[in-house]
Amino acid sequence: MTSAKWTLATLLVAAQLATLRVSLAENVVGRLAPDLGDEADEAVAARHGAGSDEYFDGAEATEWYDDEALGRTIVAYLQENPTRLGREELFLTSKVHPKNLGHERTLAAVKKMLERFQTEYLDLVLLHYPRCGDWIPDCQGVSPEGDWLDSYAALEDLYNAGQIRAIGLSNQHKIAYTSYSTLGGQWEHRAPYRRNLVSSNDVIGEIAAQTGKSVQAVTLLWALQRDVIVIPRSTSPEHIRANAAVSEESFLSEADLAQIDALAM
């Protein structure tokens, strides 16, 4: 990458032997991540204060996300600050739960999304998983109406109707993808780890010390320089501002990038 301002990567999605290409020029450092709950009010205000367009990531998976609380907060913020921020400056994303795979169930799911966000359209809707496996909460013992192809056809219908600006797939291969829990906070809540695997990583820590950057900045820069969309979760105004300003940081060297790449091998 040579530009200091990253853009939302082109979404390449395939269904029914056809490929839909949608290019959306948006800042890829997302402004909201899962499950902020009662902290959504402060987080929305802080993210607007950090500048740039607002990219909000949601989903039907209620064990991690709360689209309804986010929708209420966004509507209230827009009403209270009509001259500071408009709906067209927001980028709202949500994801169809695999239990709702199937044409009609996906149509119904997106209708509920629009109601939760209290908006006439969503900027991006993804199919969260291509199938409803037993490892997914709310999928155990569930038989979806159809498969992901049926759901994708429903998204195409909604896209053509103007209710969705872009459609895509999540947890698939060979597509542009969004990093989840990029800064490692989720691992603190999962056995057997119970610690942040990113902030405690020796390699990333050494690169941070050598470059004079924070561990978080190094992590985000690595992801962005590898063309990964990132949505760091935070309710701290200080952290939000730091995340939003990461594109102003100097790039990591290829040697540093290679060291981080090797952690996944």
Q: Which residues contact 23 (CB under 8 A, 6 or more apart)?
A: 10, 11
Mean pLDDT computed over every residue of the chain: 78
Q: What is the pLDDT of residues 62-106, one digit of tens each?
A: 878 888 888 888 888 888 877 777 888 888 899 999 999 999 999
In this predicted structure, what is the pLDDT of residue 21? 33
In this predicted structure, what is the pLDDT of residue 163? 97
Q: How far apart are CA 127 and CA 204, in angstroms?
A: 32
Percentage, residues of the chain above pLDDT 90: 38
Query: Which of 166, 173, 187, 180 is CA-nearest to residue 26?
Result: 166
Read off the pLDDT band of 29 (50, 70, 90): very low
Amino acid at 256: D
Q: Which residues contact 30 (CB under 8 A, 6 or more apart)?
A: 55, 56, 57, 178, 229, 230, 231, 232
CA quadruple 123, 64, 110, 20: dihedral sign:
positive
pTM exceeds 0.75, yes or no: no
- What pairs with residue 56 in β-bridges? 32, 92
Read off the pLDDT band of 32 (50, 70, 90): very low
In this predicted structure, what is the pLDDT of residue 71? 87
In this predicted structure, what is the pLDDT of residue 23? 34
Identify the top-confidence range among 4-13, 31-40, 140-149.
140-149
* Residue that is written with structure tokens 């998983």 in the block: 129
Q: What is the DSSP letter of 123?
A: S
Mean pLDDT of 251-256: 94
Percentage, residues of the chain above pLDDT 70: 78
- Longest CA–CA span in the chain (Å) reads 54
Q: Domains of the chain by range and CATH?
A: 1-176 (3.20.20.100), 181-265 (no CATH)
Contact 133, 147 (CB under 8 A): no
Q: What is the pLDDT of residues 181-195, one digit of tens each?
A: 888 887 787 778 788
Q: How many Cβ atoms from other residues are within 10 Å of residue 143's Cβ?
A: 9
In this predicted structure, what is the pLDDT of residue 26? 35
In this predicted structure, what is the pLDDT of residue 227? 83
Q: What is the DSSP string of 148-207?
A: HHHHHHHHHHHHHTTSBS-EEESS-SSS--EESSTTSGGGGGSTTT-S-TTTT-HHHHHH
Q: How far is CA 220 from CA 125, 191, 235, in A?
A: 24, 25, 17
Q: Which residues contact 226 (CB under 8 A, 6 or more apart)?
A: 257, 261
